[in-house]
Structure 1
Amino acid sequence: MSYRHLCAILAATAATAAAAGVSAGSASADATSQAQVSQNWAGYVAGDASSSTQFSSVSGSWVQPTATCRSGQTYSAFWVGLGGSGNSSGSLEQTGTQADCTADGGTDYYAWYELVPAAPVRLDLPVHPGDKIAAKVDVSGTNVTVSLSNQSTGQSTTKTLQMDAPDTASAEWIAEAPSSCDGSGSCQPLPLTDFGTVQFTSATATANGHTGTINDPNWTANPVALGSGGSTDISLGAGSSSAGASPSGLSSDASAFSVSVQPSGASGSSSGGSGDYGSGGGSGSGYGGSGSGGYGYGGYGYGGGGSGYGGSGYGGGYGYGGYPGADGGSGDGGYPGGGAYGYGADGYGAF
Structure 2
Amino acid sequence: MSKALRRTFVAATSLLALLAGASPALPTQGTFLAPIAEHHHDSSLMYGTSSNWSGYAATGGKFTSVSAEWVQPTVTCTKTDTWSAFWIGLDGDGSRTVEQIGTEADCSGGTPVYGSWYEMYPAYPAYFNNAVHPGDHFTASVTTTGNGVFNLTLRNVTRNWSRSIAKSLKSATLASAEVIAEAPSSSTGVLPLADFGTVGFTNAKVNGKSLGASNPSVIDMATKDGVTKATTSGITDGTAFSVTWKHS
Supply the distance in 1 between the matched residues of 2:244 and 2:190 (Cα, whole angstroms). 18
Supply the distance in 1 between the matched residues of 2:116 and 2:36 (Cα, whole angstroms). 16
Q: In the alignment, which residue of structure 1 is the partner of 2:66?
A: 58
Supply the distance in 2 between the matched residues of 1:243 and 1:122 (Cα, whole angstroms). 29
CA deviation vs aligned residue, 1:269-315 (integer Å, no higher than 9, x gap): xxxxxxxxxxxxxxxxxxxxxxxxxxxxxxxxxxxxxxxxxxxxxxx
Give the C-alpha shift of residue 124 in structure 1: 2.8
Indicate conservation of the 8 Å contact 1:10/1:37, yes or no. Answer: no
CA deviation vs aligned residue, 1:211-248 (integer Å, no higher than 9, x gap): 211121xx331101111139xxxxxxxxx9x8600100
- Trace 1:97-108 onto structure 2 (pairs within 5 A): 97-103=103-109, 105-108=110-113
Q: In the alignment, which residue of structure 1 is the partner of 2:114?
A: 109
The 4+ residue runs of structure 1 with deviation greater than 3 A are: 9-12, 18-21
Give the C-alpha shift of residue 96 in structure 1: 0.1
Supply the distance in 2 between the matched residues of 1:45 and 1:39 (Cα, whole angstroms). 15
Q: In the alignment, which residue of structure 1 is the partner of 2:34?
A: 4
Supply the distance in 1 between the matched residues of 2:155 and 2:34 (Cα, whole angstroms). 22
- Trace 1:240-319 onto structure 2 (pairs within 5 A): 244-251=229-236, 253-264=237-248
Indicate conservation of the 8 Å contact 2:39/2:96, yes or no. Answer: no
Give the C-alpha shift of residue 262 in structure 1: 0.6
Q: In the alignment, which residue of structure 1 is the partner of 2:11?
A: none
For structure 1, the 5+ residue unaligned runs are 13-17, 22-34, 182-186, 231-239, 265-351
TM-score (norm 2): 0.82
- Trace 1:1-351 onto structure 2 (pairs within 5 A): 2=16, 3-9=33-39, 19=44, 21=46, 35-48=47-60, 53-86=61-94, 89-103=95-109, 105-140=110-145, 141-181=147-187, 187-206=188-207, 211-216=208-213, 219-229=214-224, 244-251=229-236, 253-264=237-248
* Distance verdict in 2 for CA 1:262–1:54, change over 3 Å: same
TM-score (norm 1): 0.59
Report the AA paired with residue 122 of structure 2.
P
* Distance verdict in 2 for CA 1:109–1:11, change over 3 Å: same
Q: In the alignment, which residue of structure 2 is the partner of 1:332?
A: none
Whose Rg is larger? 1
Report the AA paired with residue 221 of structure 2.
L
Q: In the alignment, which residue of structure 2 is the partner of 1:293?
A: none
* Distance verdict in 2 for CA 1:121–1:227, change over 3 Å: same
Indicate conservation of the 8 Å contact 1:192/1:243, yes or no. Answer: no
* Distance verdict in 2 for CA 1:243–1:108, change over 3 Å: farther
Indicate conservation of the 8 Å contact 2:41/2:93, yes or no. Answer: no
Supply the distance in 2 between the matched residues of 1:10 and 1:66 (Cα, whole angstroms). 31
SS of 2:76's equivalent in the other structure is coil
Q: In the alignment, which residue of structure 2 is the partner of 1:279?
A: none
SS of 2:216's equivalent in the other structure is strand
Give the C-alpha shift of residue 126 in structure 1: 1.4
Give the C-alpha shift of residue 9 in structure 1: 4.9
Give the C-alpha shift of residue 19 in structure 1: 3.6
Indicate conservation of the 8 Å contact 1:11/1:37, yes or no. Answer: no
Supply the distance in 1 between the matched residues of 2:84 and 2:173 (Cα, whole angstroms). 23
Determine which structure has greater relative contact order: mean sequence separation of CA pairs < 8 Å that are 6+ residues apart, divided by chain length.
2
Give the C-alpha shift of residue 93 in structure 1: 0.4
Give the C-alpha shift of residue 11 in structure 1: 7.6
Supply the distance in 2 between the matched residues of 1:11 and 1:19 (Cα, whole angstroms). 9
SS of 1:116's equivalent in the other structure is coil
Identity %: 38
Supply the distance in 1 between the matched residues of 2:71 and 2:40 (Cα, whole angstroms). 26
